[in-house]
Amino acid sequence: MLNRDEKLPAIKLTIIQYVIVGILLILLFGLWRLQVVGASNYRAMAEANRIRKVPILAPRGKIFDREGRLIVDNYPSVSCFLVREQGHDYMADLPLIARGLHMTVEQIEAILKKYRTAPKYQPLPLKQDITPDEQEFIEAHRDEMPELETIDEQRRLYPRDGFAAHLVGYVGEVSEEMLDDPRYAYYAPGDVVGRSGVEESYDSILRGTDGSRDVLVDSHGREMGRLGTEHAIPGKSLKLTIDIDIQRAAENALGDRNGAVIAIDPHTGEVLAMVSRPTYDPNAFAVRIGREEWSKLITDPAHPLLNKAIQAQLAPGSTFKIIMALAGLQEGIAQTLNVDCRGGANFYGHYFRCWVHSGHGAVNITRGIFQSCDVYFYTLAERLGIEKIAKWAHMLGLGQKTGIDLPNEVAGTMPSEEWKMRNFHQKWYAGETISVGIGQGAVAATPVQMVRALAGIASGGALKRPHVVFPDELPPEYRKAILDSFPGSGDVTIPIDPANWETITDAMAKVMDPGGTDYSARLEGIDFAGKTGSAQTMSNALAQRMGHAKSMQDNAWFVGFSPRRNPDIAVCILFEGGEHGTLAGRLAARVIEAYVNKQRREHKNVEQPKTVARVDVGAIWSDPAHPQVYGGRAVVAHPKAGQDASLAAMHGGHFYLTIPPVEAAVR
């Protein structure tokens, strides 16, 4: 029994009592917070553990040609995702998962590392487009590996053999660099986006909106039921300006040759066909391209991923002489310029050869065009000077983007005094102008720039912005934003004297006549005009030092259209290493012929109208009531043309007359 001295002092006992009461109050407060204040929060957390949100991926919109024929479709696919919020140690399951999905543990670990910063609730894509046996593996191990989830989705199905690959583009997983771009602020890691071509330009329209499905799961993550569904909104389909028939003709014409083809409707700027070689298979990107295949594509010296129709910046060679001819005529110089070509000439102390070493003899502007006399255009360049050449070239869109609605268009180069000072801090020397006169030197253009410029000249000065999607196909809320994202020269009208316009287009029609530079490209019964070009890829001196056969390394160009004035189709061919423009001209002729023959078939070979005439002054006379000939411009000749004629319309500086029925012969 304790004595009085061993009893606790009253003050200590009081302190202990207060401590005990304080601890009880703290415990009661904590219990109150848990049971009352935090009830709704914890109830939501418990509900989240019980309900899983499974994404429903929206299918991308389909892509059609101008006639509604399918180009790009979707196919059903199943992908496997890893769900990390099951309270399950999925790391221990990696070897079994790898075997069942025909992967390696290292591949899975690389995926986990890639998405290490992703939120815990976000499923991680393990393998896309899994096979039926892999689906069976997941279902068979559902209880022991609840972290594996399958999701149905629609994957892209592109044409075989790289048909229209550079135009259409491909889709792929959004990269970390893209996620840092404000344009991709609404995307999450693992999302599929357009990475090239139309797929990239119009991704916001094609993409659609993903939905989700709320699934009831137990504590092991096993699905127990479904609560509700937010349906996905499919992406909108697009109708392109491309004509599959013309595209096929262009693909077949270029074949396995390296280069590009682009065909446009000069009246509207609609792109009818676009080909770039070498090509690639966009289906390889639809799932996930392998590292080895990707490395092969990006290291290939032929650049298969480069869309050469809008990205190849090369010297245009003699096709540039048409721009020179327009500048010379508009400046009042070429009309009276006559040159005696003896195979070359001296300018500023240097001898410049003509491509015909024996010479062309007496040459005027017409002969200079259809025989492509270098000496004539050397002389014209000397008379014009670089500033006047640059002025007209810039007016025709060289040295600037056209604004075509495809990603990564390049601007090319049109040299001038200001350009050289800005880029090299040097003055321009007059001798440099001579090479510019034949499309060499510092001049660099893309096929889309050349076809637009020359088609614009043939259209009397009306240059249209090239485009691959009909603007009225775009939702109003997207239209301006998308088109404004492709800055360029757009639609432009430049003043061209009708006499100069006729001189140039008539001379270009003679290119395919005997004595022209490309008689082999002549098309019987088709009013076809064009210009050949051959451009050096290196100087003759350098080629000799390197031991190359120089002629085999020239790039061949051709720009042609039909009919010769106010054309309905214009085509540019770039044939890399094609040696001479004549080889490119034959390829262009195949595209032009395919187009004209299709127009004639569609109009069922209706008898040629007898109420259309072309008068001696050289203007084009057309009866708007008979659009079936040459797509709207029938050109016929009759000795009584112009007599008793009544003015029907005047458009773009061209007179359209209707004359009484007379016997006429198709020209």
Q: What percentage of the chain has pLDDT greater than the value 70?
A: 80
Identify the CATH number of the domain in which residue 230 sits: 3.90.1310.10
* Stretch 111-121: mean pLDDT: 80
Cα–Cα dist 247/655, whole Å? 33
Residue 44 pLDDT = 56
How many helices (H) does the chain have, and how many strands (E)?
24, 25
Answer yes or no: is 591 within a domain: yes
More confident residue, 20 or 159: 159
Encoded amino acid at 393, one letter: A
- Domain with 624, as residue range(s), is 606-667
d(CA 522, CA 356): 21
DSSP β-ladder status, 223-230 and 211-217: antiparallel
Q: Name residues whose C-beta falls within 8 Å of residue 157's C-beta, 6 or more positions apart in sequence.
A: 72, 73, 74, 75, 283, 286
The answer, yes or no, to whether residue 582 has pLDDT greater than 90, is no
Answer whether residue 573 shows pLDDT above 80: yes
The Cα–Cα gap between 155 and 169 comes to 14
Q: Tell whether 43 is covered by a domain.
A: no
Q: Are residues 251 and 209 in the same domain?
A: no
pLDDT > 80? residue 350 = yes
Instruction: Quickly list DSSP for 93-122.
Output: GHHHHHHHTT--HHHHHHHHHHTTTS-TTS
Name the nearest CA neighbour of 153 among 185, 182, 191, 97: 191
With respect to residue 34, please indicate whether it lies within any of the assigned structural domains: no
Q: Are strands 70-82 and 63-64 parallel, antiparallel or unpaired?
A: antiparallel
Indicate whether 183 and 270 sit together in one domain: no
Structure tokens at 100: 């069942």
Task: Please answer whether residues 441 and 415 qualify as being in contact, where contact means their C-beta atoms are separated by less than 8 angstroms.
Answer: yes
Distance set, CA 654 to CA 39, 330, 499, 633 (Å): 82, 18, 11, 12
Q: Are residues 273 and 234 in the same domain?
A: no
Q: What per-residue confidence (pLDDT) applies to 284? A: 86
Q: Are 147 and 74 in contact (CB under 8 A)?
A: no
- 591 touches 249 (CB < 8 A): yes
| Last-in-domain residue among 579, 602, 625 | 602
User: Facing residues of 339 across strands?
Assistant: 363
Q: Which residue has the higher pLDDT, 405 or 89?
A: 405
Instruction: Give the count of domains, the chain.
Output: 3
Structural contact between residues 421 and 407, judged by C-beta atoms closer than 8 angstroms: no
79 in Cβ contact with 130 (< 8 Å) = yes
How far is residue 324's CA from residue 379's CA, in Å, rounded to a whole number? 11
326 and 207 fall within a common domain? no
Following CA atoms 165, 166, 169, 174 in sequence, which dihedral angle do they give, to the nearest 10 degrees? Answer: 130
Predicted structure pTM score: 0.79
Q: Which two tokens stand for residue 123?
A: 């499923």
- Angle between the 244-254 and 581-602 helix axes, to the nearest 10 degrees? 160
Residue predicted with more confidence, 286 or 247 = 247
- Among the three residues 182, 207, 239, which one is the final residue of a domain in this structure? 239
**346 & 314 share domain:** yes
What is the mean predicted confidence (pLDDT) over 231-248?
Answer: 94
Predicted local confidence at residue 351, as pLDDT: 96
How does residue 653 score in pLDDT terms, banded at 50, 70 and 90? very low
Q: Select from 544, 442, 456 the least CA-distant residue to 496.
A: 456
* Residue 184 domain-assigned (yes or no): yes
Residue found by looking up tokens 């085509």 in the block = 571
185-468-444 Cα angle (round to 5): 95
Do 61 and 124 share a domain, yes or no?
A: yes
Please give the radius of gyration of the chain, using alpha carbons only, rounded to the nearest integer: 35
Domain boundary among 602, 619, 651: 602
Are both 481 and 545 inside the same structural domain? yes
More confident residue, 278 or 547: 278
Q: What confidence score (pLDDT) does residue 37 get?
A: 62
Q: What is the pLDDT of residue 29?
A: 77
pLDDT above 60: residue 546: no
Nearest-angstrom CA–CA distance, 359 and 7: 132
Which of 61-75, 80-94, 96-110 is predicted with the least confidence, judged by mean pLDDT? Answer: 80-94
pLDDT at 482: 78
Taking 50 as the threshold, does the pLDDT of residue 84 lie above it? yes
Is residue 24, in this structure, part of any structural domain at all? Answer: no
Q: In the chain, what is the greatest distance between 2 CA atoms, to the nearest angstrom?
A: 148
Instruction: Clarify whether residues 172 and 250 are in a common domain.
Output: no
Residue 70 has pLDDT above 90, yes or no: yes
Residue 451 in domain: yes
- The answer on 90 and 224 residing in a single domain is yes
Mean pLDDT confidence for 590-595:
96
Same structural domain for residues 537 and 434? yes
Whether the CB-CB separation of 598 and 628 falls below 8 Å is answered with: no
Question: Is the pLDDT score of 600 beyond 70?
Answer: yes
Nearest to 356 by CA among 375, 369, 340: 375
Both 223 and 83 in one domain: the answer is yes
pLDDT at 612 > cutoff 60: no
> Residue 112 CA to chain centroid, in angstroms?
34
- pLDDT reading at 189 higher than 80: no
The residue type found at 555 is N
Highest mean pLDDT among 23-37, 447-461, 478-492: 447-461
**Contact criterion met (CB below 8 Å) for 282 and 162:** yes
Distance CA 665, CA 667 (A): 6
Mean pLDDT of 465-477: 89
Strand 63-64 with 238-239, pairing = parallel
pLDDT at 420 over 50: yes
| 3-class secondary-structure state, position 227 | strand
Does 406 map to a domain? yes
Quickly state the pLDDT bin for 649 (edges 50, 70, 90): very low
Cα atoms found within 13 Å of the Cα of residue 9, Cβ hemisphere only = 3
Residue 611 counted as domain residue: yes
Query: Does the pLDDT value for residue 268 go beyond 90?
Result: yes
- The candidate with the shortest Cα–Cα distance to 643, out of 613, 608, 623, 610, is 613
- Read off the pLDDT of each residue in 286-291 and give the average, rounded to a whole number: 73
Q: Which amino acid is at 599?
A: Q
Token match 């009225």: residue? 472
What CATH number is associated with residue 498? 3.40.710.10
* Predicted confidence band of residue 629 (pLDDT cuts 50, 70, 90): very low
The contacts of residue 351 (CB under 8 Å, 6+ apart) are 344, 345
Q: Which two tokens stand for residue 56?
A: 């429903």
- Give the residue-averaged pLDDT of 591-616: 67
**Are 585 and 470 in the same domain?**
yes
Indicate the average pLDDT of the chain.
82
Strand boundaries in 421-486, DSSP class E: 462-463
The C-alpha angle 104, 110, 116, rounded to 5 degrees, equals 140
Distances (CA, A) of 560 to 453, 498, 511: 11, 20, 10
pLDDT for res 83: 82
Neighbouring residues of 312: CB distance < 8 A, sequence distance ≥ 6: 260, 306, 446, 447, 574
What gap in Å lies between CA 319 and CA 510, rounded to an integer? 15
How far is Cα 62 from Cα 6, in angstroms, rounded to an integer? 93
Each residue's pLDDT tens digit, 124-178: 888 888 889 999 998 888 878 888 888 888 889 999 899 999 999 999 887 777 7
Q: Which two tokens stand for residue 573?
A: 């061919």
Q: Residue type for 438, please?
A: I
pLDDT band for position 538 (cuts 50, 70, 90): low
